[in-house]
Amino acid sequence: MKVLVSVIGLSFITDLLVNIGIMDEPEPLPEIEFMSYEVEYVTIEDVAIQFLPRFQEIDGVTFINDILYVSEVVGLPETFDPGLSPEVEAAYEEMRTDALEFDLNFVITSDYRSYTGQEEIYNDMLAVYGTVEETNNWVNQPGFSEHQSGLAIDVGSYESWELQEMPFGFTPESEWVAENAHNYGFIIRYPEGYEDVTGMSYEPWHLRYIGVEHATAVYESGETLEHYLNLVDEDGNVNIPDEYVDYEENTQQ
């Protein structure tokens, strides 16, 4: 028998074939579970939030993406006087203790500085180097030092600092801290090869605290805090909006 299927419903034909004994009662079809999806629409503004730095100034202190930011052009108020952050102290102590297990002996060689303290150091270095340009390669002008933020420390080893046997950059401690500081929330703030971005010469001893999550991201990128904050353009220039730049204050002669 030929069965012509045209406008007759498939269910009707199946029932007919069963009734006349041509086919057995079919097994019931399994229930089909339809999945639903929530569609999230992304706007240009959403994309911008992810990739553009978010600036905020609180009492003269600049934050970018909620990270306190200080550089050769973005300064701190002269009255800003937080002292060394307890969080930084705790993170350093944990790092120092862990390093002792590898026979590595860290010491803090410099931590928080007031505006006046930074001014004294800068003037001493200016007398040594002779010019503002050369001095600025090695020490920040008062108001522009991360040490004034209370979130930066300089570290040394017992051999490099106490015994003066070798520069810190050649010690086992320097190698260890470069690979492990991020686990405690620190980054090497002025890494080698990025002097044009940071405005500072390579300082393997200068650690900036930004928290473990941020520090790990910076470490894994192999770049600078400026790169992490999306401040660096494709030509390697650091872009800071004019309203956050303190050029006029950074003109000590």
For residues 19 and 34, what is the distance between their CA atoms, to the nearest angstrom? 33
What is the side-by-side order of every strand in the sheet holding 67-68?
55-58, 61-64, 67-68
Which is the catalytic residue, given 203, 226, 234, 248? Answer: 203
Q: What angle do CA 103, 104, 106 make, to 5 degrees?
A: 145
Six-digit token pair at 55? 């600036």
Distance CA 152, CA 138 (A): 15
Q: What is the dihedral of CA 175, 170, 190, 98, to 10 degrees?
A: 30
- Is 203 tagged catalytic? yes
Strand 55-58 with 203-209, pairing? unpaired
Q: Report d(CA 142, CA 78) in Å as an integer.
A: 8
* Residues designated as active site: 203
